[in-house]
Amino acid sequence: MRRRISFHLFSLHFILLFISIHIEGWQPPLRQWWKQRQETSLVSKDTDTSSIPTRLPKAPKLDKLEYHPLIGILKHFQKDTAEALLELANYCRENDLPGVRLSAGIAGTFELITDPKLVEFVLSDKGQPNYKEGIFYKSALDRRGVGLLAGQGSLLSDGPDHTRKRRLILPGMDRSSLEGFLEIMETVSMEYSQSLTSNSTSTSTTQNVGELLSAIAMKIVGLALFSTNVVEKSIYNDIVVCLEHVVWYTRHPLAAPMWIPTRRNRKFRKALKRLDDLVYSLIENGQRQMQGSKEGGLGSKNDLLSMLLQARYDDGGGSKLDDKELRDEIMTLFLAGHETTAITLCWSLWYLGDPKHEHWQDIIVEEYDRIQNETGYTPGVVEDPEALKNTRSVLCEALRLRTPSYAFDREVQQKIIAPGNILWKRKALLMLSPLAMHLDPRYFDNPEEFDPSRFLEYKEGKDLWDGPYDRSVYLPFGAGRKRCIGYKFAQWESLVILGTLLKHVKVKRPEGATSVEWEPGVTLRPDRDLELVFEPREKRVDTGSISGKEESSIVD
């Protein structure tokens, strides 16, 4: 009997040691409890301190979700994270709860929040004490998974370090910088759109829309980042391998650490090395050109890499990014810049290919022709409330129904009492799901229906892409200080690609097409390769391209 007890104690010690090594910042529950007992609580400005603060209730086991004795609800998260989040959000709505606590077994607990006030509180600075530093950080799980690809760049940094790094990148994402990328977006979109008609020997052609849009978005991002075309099948395959591994590694807290040469780890490391070699070679090439320039610049190049190479930290010493920091930022911008746009456009075309919604294609083409005959795509046009409101509404609705960034988390850095007198302990892991908010009937009528008209209206003084909704219920790009830094690039890119593509072809679903489910990975991708039928539009003669240059006639 004594031997059995000793064996079980040794096994428990080994498991706890394994987790503590694997999950950065993790501590045994007893130690966490003792530290939390010694802490004082921050109190939000909107909190009623007259009553005793309470924690979110613990969620019961729901019939539709799978659980495991060792890892709890992570069992279903490994199967379908999006479905699990929606079921839990429905439970909160039906029971009028602002959120619930969930057990992940030996990996601890996390708290799903579904109340708009709590979402706004966590993501924005409103009402937060110590708002300059922030108290809601990226979690150790994020760093463990996404950190394999993104390193320690602005995506995963927090506090003063995040502010410091974000300030370096923001100038490359402002309106004046993005204006130079509009012509790249138009030229690449036109190239691929014309290829769909010029190479077609029949009245229609069937294409893998995912591969098509990934190629378009990847080429645009490559030219904008490096002034280089990086579209290669091998690179695309390496990206897929890396993203799939990141998701798997994040969802399996007891997976073998990366230094163990398992088959999965070896496959990931080989793919990552090829991507790293590509990025470092482009950085080296940019540095070489800078050194060879008499003026200390990069000549006529106006890409984001050039901007980052010349950027200096605002720390009094004028220090610049080292090669590792450059790599982390470039890798983040490259992967996020093409993946989310391609997925959004993929879902948009799928919905537009439905016979019930095909009329939206003609409306988008009318908008495209009108601006092309007037000023073309300019910053003033893409941000005008009326000029492209139908194109924008279609994209907003696709972002609502199939949000690429469907879930993310935050780790509480100090014990705090949140609005509603909710108590969050230090190191509490909070999960937020934009997808669950977007499909909530309390905020969107008929939330499962594709209806772009819901975004035709907008609030004065607010972001046009928010439509008539608050950012606490519609947040495809996040909110607050950590809102997607490239959101405006993605918005402009999506507008140009969708309008240009539909100008040349009409999109239809194949005969007998079945419904498409989602596959939650790093983004919310379709669960299979989507094939759509592209029919060339009628012969037309254009008066000019988006950038104002002469364009040859497009013939069927």
346 assigned binding-site residue: no
Nearest to 513 by CA among 206, 238, 247, 253: 206
Task: List residues bridging with 240 in a β-sheet.
Answer: none
Opening angle at CA 454, ends 453 and 457, nearest 5: 90
Query: What is the torsional sign of CA 64, 348, 488, 211?
Result: positive
| Residue 248: burial class (beta carbons within 10 Å; 0-12, 13-18, 19+) | middle
Q: Quick check: 534 and 507 in contact, CB under 8 A?
A: yes
Q: Quick check: 144 and 249 in contact, CB under 8 A?
A: yes
Strands 524-526 and 408-412, how do they pair?
A: unpaired
**Token digits of residue 209:** 């829309």
Nearest to 74 by CA among 245, 258, 243, 253: 253
Give CA–CA dist 291/73, Å, rounded.
54
Helix (H) or strand (E) holding 418: strand 416-418
Give CA–CA dist 427/416, Å, rounded.
11
**Token digits of residue 273:** 């090395």
Q: Quick check: 427 and 364 in contact, CB under 8 A?
A: no
**In sequence order, what are the residues at sequence separation of 6 or more whose Cβ sits closer than 8 angstroms to the Cβ of residue 105?**
68, 69, 70, 71, 72, 74
What is the torsion angle, in degrees rounded to the nearest 10, for the CA atoms of residue 222, residue 223, residue 228 and residue 230?
30
Give CA–CA dist 21/19, Å, rounded.
5
Residue found under tokens 């990226």: 138
**Rg from Cα positions in the chain:** 25
**Token digits of residue 99:** 């959120």
Give CA–CA dist 507/352, Å, rounded.
7
**Token digits of residue 409:** 């988390």
| Residue 269: burial class (beta carbons within 10 Å; 0-12, 13-18, 19+) | middle
**In sequence order, what are the residues at sequence separation of 6 or more whose Cβ sits closer than 8 angstroms to the Cβ of residue 334?**
221, 222, 225, 279
Q: What is the DSSP letter of 451?
A: -
3-state secondary structure of 475: coil
Q: What is the DSSP letter of 490?
A: H
- Over 200-253, what HEC string results? CCCCCEEEEHHHHHHHHHHHHHHHHHHCCCCCCHHHHHHHHHHHHHHHHHHHCC
**Binding site membership for heme: which residues?**
484
**Binding site membership: which residues?**
484
